[in-house]
Amino acid sequence: MLLPLLLAALAAAAAWPGCEPAWDPAGGCSPPSASDSATCVDLRLRTCGDAAYNQTAFPTPLEHRSQEAVESSSEYILLSVLHHLLEGQCNPDLRLLGCAVLAPRCEGGRARRPCRRVCEGLRDACRPAFDAIDMAWPYFLDCDRYFGGEEEGCYDPLERLRGGLDVEEALPSGLPPTFIHFTHHSYAQMVRVLKRTAARCSHVARTYSIGRSFDGKELLVIEFSGRPGQHELMEPEVKLIGNIHGNEVAGREMLIYLAQYLCSEYLLGSPRIQRLLNTTRIHLLPSMNPDGYEVAAAEGAGYNGWTSGRQNAQNLDLNRNFPDLTSEFYRLASTRGTRTDHIAIPQHYWWGKVAPETKAIMKWMRTAPFVLSASLHGGDLVVSYPFDFSKHPHEEKMFSPTPDEKMFKLLARAYADVHPMMMDKSENRCGGNFLKRGSIINGADWYSFTGGMSDFNYLHSNCFEITVELGCVKFPPEEALYTLWQHNKEPLLNFVEMAHRGIKGVVMDKFGKPVKNARISVKGIRHDITTAPDGDYWRLLPPGSHIVIAQAPGYSKVIKKVTIPARMKRAGRVDFILQPLGTGPKTFPQGRRRSGPGLRDPPGGAGPHGEPEEPGQGPLRRQPGPGGSKPWWWSYFTSLSQHKPRWLLRY
C-alpha cells in the first residue's frame, strides 16, 4: 500500500505552500517569468535525481525558496507517488515534467523554462489516467502558466528519456541505436550489448551481477522497470533465464535481442512496452552458464555435439543441481494438514557438489519476490511445466501435476498459443509429437528427473516457472536467428504479461503497518504464497471463483471470495487488514472496501467482479456521495499539517 510509504514523508511535511491557486485570495498564482539571472545550485531532490540537468535555482516558479521547502510540499509528494497512483501510466514522463517546474533547470546563471508543447502532449495523453481516479490535473502542470515557447529558448525536460546513445557510446558501425544485430554473441560481446542497452535506457534499465561462474565470469542481468534497482509496491517481478545448458544457445540470443527490443520500443513510445515496463519489473539473465557456452561456441554452430558444453566448468548439469524438494513434497502431501510450500533446503544437500551458478540463482531468488519465471532451453519445440519429477520415482514418464495445474497450463499456453511453429499442424515438424497436446506438456509426463530449477522455484518460493524448448537445433546457425526471434518475440511478451493475472494486494494490520510473510491461501489449492517485506503479494490464479484466506501468527484469519472473469487481463486488487487475535470479525462482507487505515479501492475503480477497470474505459468515475465523500486517495494527503492539496479534487 502507499500509506506506509508516505507516512514518513507526510510526517515531515512542512508548511511552505508554494503557489497554489486555492490559497491565493486573488484567485490564482501570477505567471512566472523567465529569470534574466539566477544563482545555480546543485539539484539534490531524490525524486528528480534522473532529470536531464543537475542544477536548479531558487525561488522556484511556485515560490519555494529551498530544496527543503520543495521536499516538504504536497506538490513534491504527489510527484513521488504518481507512479503508484496511476498504476505506472505516464511515468516517468509526468514526474520529470513536474520536476521541471518544482526544480527549474539552471545553467549559465539563468533559469530555463520547460517547453509548452511537451506539457500539452503529456496533458492530452495522461488526462484520462487522472480522470480514472477522480483526480484533477495538477495546477502546477498548467501548460500556459508554467511552460514556455520555443521563442523563449525553452527546453525539453524529457530529452534524456527520448534521447539515444551518448556520442561516445554510439555503435561503431554507424548503425541506428534501434538496430538489433541478429548474430551469436561471445561473452564479451554480450556484456557490451547489455551495458550499452542499459546506458541507452538508463531511466528504465540497469545491469547487475548475481554472482560468478566457476571460471569467474559475471552472471550479468539486465533489469527493466520504472525505477531500476527498487522493488515497487504492487509491481510483480519476472525473471527470464537462458543458456542454463551451455550448448543450448537460442535462449541466450533471444534474451539479448529482447533487451534491445524493450529499450528501443520504450524510447519509440510503444504504448504496450511502456505500460509493461512501468508496471512490471523484468530481469533478464541471458546466460546462466557462460563457461559451458564457451566450450560449445569453440565447436561452432552446426558442428556442436548434443552434449558438448552442456555442463558448467565443473562438469555439472545445472538443471539437475538444485535441491530435490519434489520428493519432500510427495512425502509431506501424504500427511493431512501439512504445508507443502516454501519447503526448506535439506542440510544434506550442501554436503554434495553445488555449482556457484546454482548458488547464485538461489541467492538471487531471495533478493526479489519473483512471481513468474521461464527457463529457455533447446533440443525440442514444446513448453513444459512442473512437476518435472514423477510422483512415483521409478516411473520415467508419469503425469505429475502441481496443486496449481490449471494455472501452469495457462502459463504454458500463453507461450505456445502465440508461437507460429508450436501451432503448426504438421506432425513432421520439430516438436510435432507434441502437436496433439497443444505443444505443452507436464514435465514428468515427458521424462522425469530430479534437481530441476522449475520444481525448486515452485516449492521453495512464490515463483511459478515454466521451461521453454525453443527448437530442435541446440546451436542454430546465424542465419536462423532472425526467424527464431520473429517466432519468439510475441510469446515472450505474452508470457511476461501473464504476471498480471489473478489477484494482488497488500496485507496489513489495523494501523496500516505491512505484515510480511503473511500466508495467502486459496481453498482447494494446497499451495500458499507469502507476502513480501512491504506486505504486498501476487497470487497467479485461473479465471473463476476462489475463496482466498490471509493469515499470520498473532492475527485472526480473513476470508474473502473473489471472482476472476475469463476476460480479465489485469490482476484484481484484494487487500487484507488483519486484526489481532481475539478482536474483530474473521470475515469481511463482499462489496467495495471502505476507509480502513492504508486501505484503498483499486485505481480506476473496480468492475462487477472486483477487477480494476482499464483507465478511460467503462464506469470509472465515482461521484461524491451525499456527504461529499472524498476519493480513495485523499486520505494519503490529509496528514499535511497546514495546506491540504484541495487542488487535486475535481468537485
Taking the C-alpha atoms of residue 122 and residue 120, their distance in angstroms, rounded to an integer, is 5
Q: Is the peptide bond before 393 cis (omega within 30 degrees of 0)?
A: no
Q: What crossing angle do the helices spanning 271-279 and 250-267 adopt, rounded to 10°?
A: 110
β-strand partners of 338:
none
Q: Distances from the Cα of 546 to the Cαs of 352, 510, 523, in angstroms?
A: 42, 25, 7
Closest CA to 92 of 100, 102, 101, 82: 82
C-beta of residue 98 within 8 angstroms of C-beta of residue 60: no
C-beta of residue 329 within 8 angstroms of C-beta of residue 393: no
Residues 6+ apart with CB under 8 A from 471: 250, 378, 380, 381, 421, 430, 484
Write out the three cell numbers for 12: 515531515
Degrees to nearest 5, angle at CA 165 with 164 and 166: 120
Q: What is the largest CA-CA distance in the chain?
A: 84
Taking the C-alpha atoms of residue 420 and residue 431, their distance in angstroms, rounded to an integer, is 12
Stated as kind and residue range, the H or E segment containing 222 is strand 218-224
C-alpha distance across the termini of the chain, in Å: 25
Taking the C-alpha atoms of residue 99 and residue 111, their distance in angstroms, rounded to an integer, is 13
Taking the C-alpha atoms of residue 111 and residue 103, their distance in angstroms, rounded to an integer, is 10
Residues 6+ apart with CB under 8 A from 80: 9, 47
Taking the C-alpha atoms of residue 222 and residue 287, their distance in angstroms, rounded to an integer, is 11
Write out the three cell numbers for 392: 512415483
Taking the C-alpha atoms of residue 525 and residue 496, their distance in angstroms, rounded to an integer, is 23
Taking the C-alpha atoms of residue 523 and residue 525, their distance in angstroms, rounded to an integer, is 6
Is 469 part of the annotated catalytic residue set?
A: yes
Q: Residue holding cell 499451495?
A: 527
The one catalytic residue in 71, 237, 469, 497 is: 469
Write out the three cell numbers for 278: 512501468
Write out the three cell numbers for 95: 514526474
Q: Distances from the Cα of 439 to the Cαs of 127, 241, 375, 435, 448, in angstroms?
A: 43, 20, 16, 5, 18
Strands 503-509 and 572-573: parallel
Closest CA to 97 of 111, 114, 81, 75: 114
Write out the three cell numbers for 404: 496449481
Write out the three cell numbers for 55: 542544477
Residue 278, phi then psi, degrees to nearest 5:
-80, -15
Taking the C-alpha atoms of residue 220 and residue 352, their distance in angstroms, rounded to an integer, is 26
Residues 6+ apart with CB under 8 A from 156: 114, 115, 118, 162
Residue 282, phi then psi, degrees to nearest 5:
-110, 130
Burial 550-573, CB ≥16 within 10 A → b, else e: bbbeebbbbbbebbbeeebebbbb
**Active site residue ranges:** 469
